[in-house]
Chain A
Amino acid sequence: MAHSDLAVVGAGPAGMAAAVTAAEAGLSVTLLDEQPRPGGQIYRDVDRAAARRGDILGADFTVGVRLTGALAQPGVAHVPGATVWAIEAGWRLLYTRDGRAAEVTADRVILATGAMERPMPLPGWTLPGVMTAGAGQILLKQSGLVPREAVLVGCGPLLYLVAAQMVRAGVPPRALVETQTKAELIAAFRHAGGALRNGPALAKGLGLIAEIAGAGIDRHTGATDIAIDGEGQAEAVRFRAGGRVHRIPARTVLLHHGVVPNTQAARSLGIAHRWDHGQHCFAPVLDGWGETERAGLFIAGDGAGIAGAKAAEAAGRLAALQAGRQAGRLSRGQRDRQAAPLRAALSRERALRPFLDAAYPPHAPALRPPDATVVCRCEEVTAGDIRRYATLGCTGPNQAKAFGRAGMGPCQGRYCGLTVTALLAEANRQSPEATGYYRIRPPLKPVTLGELAAMDAPARDAAE
């Protein structure tokens, strides 16, 4: 059984930077990621895609090869294609790779499992042809596919980035149906001071909007009453904007209204989470190094709160420095000297967020959808079902499982958890914090009996 000083889960910017910084400090590191190639969401498959279509994806993407390249050093054992499904204190990580379960142990763990897109339950969002904007972008990065006749729906920087990348690929989207209003944009300017601390990022955002405008793409802002129509697959997006109803034919609909931390692994370990009012999501409670209340367990990157790739990289390094300090490989002075510029970078990146969060808030009707809308995709539980549970006395997401199957399908609540919390909070006139979130138990991802049977016998016995 493999043992290392540090195990890192997730090979995005946070995890890659953490692994390399820890190895440089002299720690042995195992880096696990379920994707076949390193990069995480932003730098997905960058080693191959940068050469093939760096011009389409842009410099903020191709820069990722710096991080993937640094992994090639003796201190880091990168295990690709490894889906981690259980983490036990002490620390022991169980994962599946190539149809076999396996395990590693480590003195310390950094969770760098990143973010996922905020669920956007709209009427018709389960139809084939409807995907997240991030999924559309993954198709482009990893597979070189660009949807024709696509409509992008929602708000936020990633929506503009995907639209601009599609323009550069020669297949502009048919339209952008944007949910933010002018009033929100104007109100966001009270955070302009913070945004100006990160001028280059702000300029890039404006550049993307100019690129979209230059391509002559229809933009509808302040859209409401959005629904996706189709028999068996997406056929059109219907919405109200500028005082009238629109219907735009579309074979692919890409939804996005922000990203939220993927907290499944942290929650499975019982880590406390707080409600972030600005970002409308839960985030784990951490100290200044990213360490949780459980000694030796760190969380870095967008899984700790959304701040983007550069912040993720800095946070990954900070956690690794503290792990190195705890392992006795770095002196306090060495740690703090390396940490100072990282803290400055982190605060610069975070300064932009209040502006972005205010300018592109989540689409309110998709946080608390109408009764007929499916909120739990796996078990097809509707918003009306959840509201009905509340009238029967259901106060929290875990109790909801006694009333129906919401959150009990294979995605384990990843795409309904925040919606169920919001619906119950509203119905019971409680805060999201008081309402709580699903209790997450391992396995974090479904494991088959065949995969367990293929595990070495001693490890299997321990797993049972």
Chain B
Amino acid sequence: MKPASPFLELDEGPRVRVVFDGTPLDLRAGANLAAALLAAGVQTLRHTSVSGAPRGPFCMMGACYDCLVEIDGVVRQACMTEVAEGMEIARPRAGEAGHGA
């Protein structure tokens, strides 16, 4: 069972199915991906390459890079991405989230 959301959600709207780390999730279409994952109870988006420590969104403004996820094979900032139907989202493998290309 997924843990209850630590957030109150004020907005409603149609949801689309995405897959996060193998688990199907119904997120609000067009919503900010980092926010939508937090609302769905997902707090850890990646693990650091140095110590494997868990990380989640920190700045929500594209500055900290702690929200990196792999979307359809490309490492991107979840806080700078909008939810789209069918997204395949994975926690980036250790080492991949550290350095953009």
Q: Are B61 and A135 in contact (CB under 8 A)?
A: yes
A355-389 CB mask vs B (1 if < 8 Å, else 0) is 00000000000000000000001111000000000
Question: How many interface contacts (CB-CB < 8 Å) are there between A and B?
Answer: 138
Q: Are B6 and A447 in contact (CB under 8 A)?
A: no
Using A135-B61, A410-B68 as known contacts, say yes or no to A380 and B50 having CB atoms under 8 A apart.
Answer: yes
B46-83 CB mask vs A (1 if < 8 Å, else 0) is 00101101111111111111101000001100001010
Q: Does A130 contact B (CB under 8 A)?
A: yes
Q: Are B8 and A146 in contact (CB under 8 A)?
A: yes
Contact of A117 among B57, B59, B82 (CB under 8 A): B59
A residues in contact with B51, CB < 8 Å: 380
Contact of A447 among B62, B65, B100 (CB under 8 A): B100
Q: How far is the CA of A410 from the CA of B58 in the complex (A)?
A: 14
Q: Are B64 and A377 in contact (CB under 8 A)?
A: yes
Q: How far is the CA of A252 from the CA of B39 in the complex (A)?
A: 12
How many residues on B have C-beta within 8 angstroms of the other chain's C-beta atoms?
A: 41
Q: Are A134 and B60 in contact (CB under 8 A)?
A: yes
Using A135-B58, A146-B10, A378-B65 as known contacts, say yes or no to A448 and B31 having CB atoms under 8 A apart.
Answer: no
Q: Does A269 contact B (CB under 8 A)?
A: no
A residues in contact with B75, CB < 8 Å: 448
Q: How far is the CA of A83 from the CA of B77 in the complex (A)?
A: 12
Q: Are B43 and A233 in contact (CB under 8 A)?
A: yes
B residues in contact with A262, CB < 8 Å: 63
Using A145-B8, A409-B98 as known contacts, say yes or no to A128 and B61 having CB atoms under 8 A apart.
Answer: no
Of A136-144, A310-318, A324-332, A341-349, the one contacting chain B is A136-144
Min C-beta distance of B38 to chain A, whole Å: 7
Q: Which residue of B lies closest to A251 (CB)?
A: B6
Q: Does A241 contact B (CB under 8 A)?
A: no
A residues in contact with B101, CB < 8 Å: 446-450
Task: Kindly state the interface size class of chain A when it binds its partner.
Answer: 35 or more
Q: Are B61 and A41 in contact (CB under 8 A)?
A: yes
Q: Which residue of A lies closest to B30 (CB)?
A: A36
Residues in A129-159 with C-beta less than 8 Å from chain B: 129-132, 134-135, 138-140, 142-149
Q: Are A450 and B54 in contact (CB under 8 A)?
A: no
Contact of B63 among A139, A142, A411, A450 (CB under 8 A): A411
Q: Are B61 and A134 in contact (CB under 8 A)?
A: yes
Q: Are A233 and B65 in contact (CB under 8 A)?
A: no
Using A145-B7, A146-B10 as known contacts, say yes or no to A127 and B54 having CB atoms under 8 A apart.
Answer: yes
Q: Which residue of B lies closest to A255 (CB)?
A: B58
Q: Are B50 and A145 in contact (CB under 8 A)?
A: no
Q: Are B63 and A414 in contact (CB under 8 A)?
A: yes
Q: Are B9 and A116 in contact (CB under 8 A)?
A: no
Q: Does B18 contact A (CB under 8 A)?
A: no
Q: Are A138 and B8 in contact (CB under 8 A)?
A: no
Q: Does B90 contact A (CB under 8 A)?
A: no
Using A142-B32, A378-B98, A380-B53 as known contacts, say yes or no to A169 and B10 having CB atoms under 8 A apart.
Answer: yes
Q: Are A411 and B64 in contact (CB under 8 A)?
A: yes
Q: Does A217 contact B (CB under 8 A)?
A: no
Contact of A252 among B6, B44, B68 (CB under 8 A): B6
Q: Does A53 contact B (CB under 8 A)?
A: yes
Using A233-B43, A233-B44 as known contacts, say yes or no to A446 and B99 having CB atoms under 8 A apart.
Answer: yes
Q: Are B6 and A132 in contact (CB under 8 A)?
A: no
Q: Which residue of B lies closest to A145 (CB)?
A: B7
B residues in contact with A377, CB < 8 Å: 55, 58, 64, 66
Q: Are B65 and A409 in contact (CB under 8 A)?
A: yes
B34-47 CB mask vs A (1 if < 8 Å, else 0) is 01101100011100
Residues in A263-291 with C-beta less than 8 Å from chain B: none
Q: Are A132 and B59 in contact (CB under 8 A)?
A: yes
Q: Are B60 and A131 in contact (CB under 8 A)?
A: yes
B residues in contact with A129, CB < 8 Å: 6, 43, 56
A residues in contact with B48, CB < 8 Å: 380
Q: Are A139 and B38 in contact (CB under 8 A)?
A: yes
Q: Are B9 and A144 in contact (CB under 8 A)?
A: yes
Q: Does A43 contact B (CB under 8 A)?
A: no
B residues in contact with A380, CB < 8 Å: 48, 50-51, 53
Q: How far is the CA of A119 from the CA of B45 in the complex (A)?
A: 21
A117-130 CB mask vs B (1 if < 8 Å, else 0) is 10000000011111
B residues in contact with A160, CB < 8 Å: none
Residue of A83, A144, A415 ringed by the most chain B CB atoms within 10 A: A144
Min C-beta distance of B66 to chain A, whole Å: 7
Sample of 11 A–B contacts (CB below 8 Å): A128-B45, A129-B56, A132-B60, A135-B58, A169-B8, A170-B8, A251-B6, A410-B98, A445-B100, A447-B101, A449-B101
Top 3 nearest A-B pairs (CB, nearest first) are A446-B100, A128-B56, A144-B10
A134-B60, A140-B10 given. 15 additional CB < 8 A pairs?
A: A128-B44, A128-B55, A129-B43, A129-B56, A135-B57, A142-B32, A143-B11, A144-B11, A145-B8, A149-B6, A233-B54, A379-B50, A379-B98, A414-B63, A445-B100
